[in-house]
Chains A and B, each alone.
Chain A
C-alpha cells in the first residue's frame, strides 16, 4: 500500500486481487475490489449482509470462478491451478458442509484423504483435531446429533486437517458460545504465530479488532476503507462516543440540539450518538442544555462507528 514496512514480505503476497469482480446473472456481488494479503498476517473483511464478503472468500478459496479482474492466490491463478491452491488452503465456509453420513472422526479422516494424506496421517490428525475442537467424547457419534456450535467447531477443525498455509474463515464464530469463541481466537492466534495467514470475515467488531492486523470494510460489493483497526478508528471516528437513549417518541429533534457538542452526531432509531474527544464533557454540556436522556453511556470508538460513518448504516442491529 503506502510502503510502510509493517510485516516483512516473504516472496509473493498470499492473495492479490486487482479489480476483482463477481457477478451472479444481473447481480454484481463484488464490484472491482483491490486487495493484497501479506504472508503471515491476519486480514479481515468487515461488512453488512450482502456486501460481497462470502463471494470474495469463495473466489479466493478457488471454488468460485471470478467474473472479471485479476486474482492470485499463493502466487497462482485459481482458474488454472485451483487444485494446487486448494491443497494448501483451509476453508471454513459460511454454512457448514459436514458429511452427515459419517461420524465426527470419519469426517476428519476422509477429509484428509481428499487432500491425499496417508491413512496413518489422517488417523493421527483426526485424534489431534478432535481434541482441539473439544469433541473427543463424541468422536464416534454422527454429525447430525451435534449442536450448531459443535458443528461449527468441527468444521473449523476439519479446515486444519491439511496444515494449511492460508486459512479462510467465513464468519467462523457464528453460533459459538462466548467460551468457544475465545477458545477459537486463542487457537487462531497460535496458528498465526506459527506462520499461517488468516483471512476472516465477520459481523463481530470485537472479533475483527482482536484478530486482524488489517481489514477492509466492504459495502455493496465495494471496499470503502482499508487499514488496521486502530488506523481506521483514528481516521474515521473520534476517540470517544457519547450514547444517549430516550423514552420512546422523545428522540425527535434531539440530534440538532446536541450537534454542537461533538464533531459529529448520528441519529439511530433507538439512540443518538455524539462523536467527541471527551465524552464526559459532552454529557455535561448535554445536561446543561436541559436534554434529559433515559440513559447515557460514554465509550471508546469501535469499528462499528467507523462503519456507521462510512456507510450510514449499522453493521449489526
Chain B
C-alpha cells in the first residue's frame, strides 16, 4: 500500500477524521458522520444537466414582483408597513414574496425530489451502505435546497434593489433570512416526504403550502385579521419569515425578530432530526 493514497482513503473512517465538528461530537456515530457535503456534490452533478430549473426558479418570483409593480401597485397606493410607516404596496409585498419563494423552492425540493429518491430509486439505501448516516443524508438534501434558495434570494434582492424596494442596508440580511426559511421548510418538507405513499399525495403538500402562502401576512398586514385569527396566523412558520424580511427590507428592527429567528431555527433543527430518524426507521430495518 502506498502510504500517501491510503492515508486519504483510510482517514475516511469517521473517527479518524481530523475535523470533528460540534455535531459530530454530540450525535451518535451511526446517525451522522459529517459527510453531508458529498450529497451536495451529487446534487450538483444531477443539476449540471438540468440547470434550466434554476432559471425558472429565479424568474418565477420576479414575474410576481412585476405583476405587483405594474398591476396591484396602481390599485392599492399605500399601506402601513413595519414601524407604522406608510410605504408603497409593492415595497410591502416584495420582501414577503422573497420569503414565500424561499419556502416554495425548499418545499418543492424536499418533497418531490426526496420522495422519488426515497420511494422508487433507492438512492438513500445505496448511501446508507456506505459510512454515511441518515443525518448526513438529511443535512445534505436540506443543504441543497438551502443553496438553491440562497441563489434565488440573491437574484430577487438584486431586482428589489433595482426597483428601489430595498431601502435599508439591513436588506442585505434578507439573504441569510431566506437561507433560514429555506432550511426550515426543507427540513419540514423532508419529514413530510417520508410519510407520503404515492405521488398523488403531493396534493396534501399543496394543501398545506398554498394557504400558508396566502395567509401569512404576505399580501396584507396582520391587523386586518380579527384577533383570534391573528394568533393562528402567528403560528404559521412563513409568518415569521415574512416578518423578518419585511422588517429588514426597510431597516425597521425590533426584539421580536429574535423570536422569529428562534422559531425558524427550532423548526429547522427539529425537521432535520426527525428526517434522520424517519430515514433510519424506514431504511435501516
Chain A interface (Cβ within 8 Å of chain B)?
Answer: 24, 61, 63-65, 79-84, 86-89, 91, 93, 95-102, 106, 110-111, 113-118, 121, 162-163
Known: A24-B285, A83-B30, A97-B125. A110 touches B41 (CB 8 A): yes
| Stretch from B129-137, B188-196, B267-275 forming part of the interface with A | B129-137
User: A84–B9 contact, CB under 8 A?
Assistant: no
7 additional contacts (CB under 8 A) given A99-B42, A117-B12? A63-B125, A81-B29, A84-B15, A87-B13, A115-B9, A116-B12, A116-B131
Closest partner residue, chain A, to B33 (CB atom): A83
* A249 → B minimal CB distance (Å): 47
Residues in A with CB closer than 8 Å to B5 are 121
Known: A87-B12, A102-B46, A162-B9. A114 touches B130 (CB 8 A): yes
* B247 → A minimal CB distance (Å): 40
- Asked if B126 CB lies within 8 Å of chain A CBs, one says yes
Please, how many angstroms separate the alpha-carbon atoms of A302 and B82 in the complex? 84
Which of A86, A93, A121 has a CB less than 8 Å from the CB of B9?
A121
* A174 → B minimal CB distance (Å): 16
Residues in B with CB closer than 8 Å to A93 are 125, 129
Known: A64-B285, A110-B38. A115 touches B126 (CB 8 A): no
Residues in A with CB closer than 8 Å to B30 are 79-80, 82-83
User: A116–B11 contact, CB under 8 A?
Assistant: yes
Interface hub of A102, A115, A116 (most chain B Cβ within 10 A):
A116
User: B29–A84 contact, CB under 8 A?
Assistant: yes
Closest partner residue, chain A, to B5 (CB atom): A121
Please, how many angstroms separate the alpha-carbon atoms of A188 and B8 in the complex? 25
Residues in A with CB closer than 8 Å to B128 are 63
Please, how many angstroms separate the alpha-carbon atoms of A106 and B5 in the complex? 21
The digit string for B30-50, where 1 denotes a CB below 8 A from any CB of A, is 100101001001100110000
Closest partner residue, chain B, to A102 (CB atom): B45
Please, how many angstroms separate the alpha-carbon atoms of A63 and B282 in the complex? 11
Using a CB-CB cutoff of 8 Å, which residues 84-140 of chain B contact chain A?
Answer: 121-123, 125-133
Known: A63-B128, A114-B131, A121-B8. A83 touches B123 (CB 8 A): no
User: B123–A114 contact, CB under 8 A?
Assistant: no
Count of A-B contacts with CB under 8 A? 102
Please, how many angstroms separate the alpha-carbon atoms of A113 and B36 in the complex? 10
Closest partner residue, chain A, to B120 (CB atom): A100
Residues in B with CB closer than 8 Å to A80 are 29-30
Residues in A with CB closer than 8 Å to B33 are 83
* A275 → B minimal CB distance (Å): 41
* B143 → A minimal CB distance (Å): 15
- Asked if B14 CB lies within 8 Å of chain A CBs, one says yes
Residues in B with CB closer than 8 Å to A89 are 129
Known: A81-B29, A84-B29, A118-B8. A91 touches B285 (CB 8 A): no
User: A115–B42 contact, CB under 8 A?
Assistant: no
- Asked if B284 CB lies within 8 Å of chain A CBs, one says yes
Closest partner residue, chain A, to B122 (CB atom): A97
* B41 → A minimal CB distance (Å): 6
Which of A65, A97, A115, A163 has a CB less than 8 Å from the CB of B131?
A115
* B226 → A minimal CB distance (Å): 48
Interface hub of B30, B41, B130 (most chain A Cβ within 10 A):
B130
Please, how many angstroms separate the alpha-carbon atoms of A91 and B128 in the complex? 11
Known: A82-B30, A163-B9. A87 touches B131 (CB 8 A): yes
Residues in B with CB closer than 8 Å to A88 are 13
Known: A99-B42, A102-B45. A63 touches B9 (CB 8 A): no
Which of A65, A83, A98 has a CB less than 8 Å from the CB of B29?
A83
Residues in B with CB closer than 8 Å to A63 are 125, 128-129, 283-284
